[in-house]
Amino acid sequence: MSAPSLALGTASGTAARPAYEPMPVRVWRSGPEGEASAADRNLPDETPVAILYDGATYAVMMATPCDLTDFAVGFTLTEGVARPDQIEEVEVAAHPLGMQVRVWLAPAQAEAVRHRARRLAGPVGCGLCGVESLTEAARPVPRVETPLSVAPGRILEAMAALAPNQPVHMATRSTHAAGFWLPQRGLVTVREDVGRHNALDKLIGALASVPGGDAVAECAGAVLLTSRVSVEMVQKTAAAGIPMIVAVSAPTTLAVDAAERAGVTLVAVARRDGFEVFTHPHRIAFGEAQAACA
């Protein structure tokens, strides 16, 4: 399957909130004195974010209120609501209770969405809350046939590059990150959020606005994750046409099954000294020093 086109229409709106802010705390450390002291701790912002299509609320998720245009575009694609080229405008607006991301779709797609209302009310870390049937929760995903060959050492390099490109996590130590890596270009972009699913949606949406975005889609690379891999992370990656996931933590059994069916190479437990390949190992060029897009 070819990766979907990531052309995007107009993005508007200037509403913004900080990704994190300092909060006062009392700090105690063991030692001879045993005294508490005043300090500040940076905490990530977590706020309700409503995604609206043509004025109607479709989903409400708890998220870090940054990169919300990317979030809406990625969510729209990975949830199968619409292709990015069917999005006419995205507007981010503050609301007394949180944030709103208002998405306007092409007329034909807007009508289709009205017939497929899938209300979500999800806490952070909940990727499938609110689905109305087991069939929807286990929805089929497109099969990814994109050729890719990556040497094992390059995977370790990719994960090493991800760590210093997480400014919110470096400030708070409490957010997830999703990055996109290409063998011939290295780390292309990274997005962060308190929710791992949100971080991945933001990443996929961001690829729509990367200069040369079509080239990014055609010469496929890998999604890099700082979290565990659950089934919806595989579903979202496959929906974007990306052939490989590399994660620091282990996958679930259902995620492995989904990756096998979707043709996605699933690499997990990626640490400094190695990793484990759970599905489609043909994209890992074992024994080779270099690799590039086939």
105 contact partners, CB below 8 Å, separation of at least 6: 53, 54, 82, 86, 87, 88, 113
Active-site annotation holds for 126: yes
CA atoms within 13 A on the CB side of 20: 20
In this structure, of 108-112, 114-118, 196-200, 212-216, the range with the lowest mean pLDDT score is: 212-216
* pLDDT at site 293: 42
Give the pLDDT band of residue 17 (cuts 50, 70, 90): confident
Give the mean pLDDT of the chain: 85
* pLDDT at site 292: 43
Distance CA 257, CA 272 (A): 26
Distance CA 106, CA 11 (A): 14
Sheet containing 274-279, strands listed edge to edge, beginning at the edge strand earlier in sequence: 186-193, 176-182, 222-225, 244-247, 265-271, 274-279
Sheet containing 87-95, strands listed edge to edge, beginning at the edge strand earlier in sequence: 10-12, 87-95, 98-105, 47-53, 56-63, 120-122
Task: Report how far Cα 284 is from the mean position of its chain's Cα atoms.
Answer: 23
Distances (CA, A) of 142 to 139, 168, 283: 10, 33, 18
CB 255 within 8 A of CB 231: yes
* pLDDT at site 111: 85
In this structure, of 80-94, 121-135, 266-280, the range with the lowest mean pLDDT score is: 121-135
Nearest Cα neighbor of 236 from 196, 271, 275 is 196
Work out whether the CA dihedral 111, 3, 176, 269 comes out positive or negative: positive
Tabulate helix, strand, coil % of the chain (nearest 5).
30, 35, 40
Largest CA distance in the chain: 70
User: Considering the chain, what percentage of its residues have pLDDT values greater than 90?
Assistant: 69
Distances (CA, A) of 97 to 60, 133, 238: 11, 29, 33
CATH 3.40.50.720 for domain 152-283: no
* pLDDT at site 135: 60
Nearest Cα neighbor of 49 from 34, 70, 29 is 70
Whether 142 shows a pLDDT value over 90: the answer reads no
Identify the active-site residue in 66, 126, 219, 293.
126
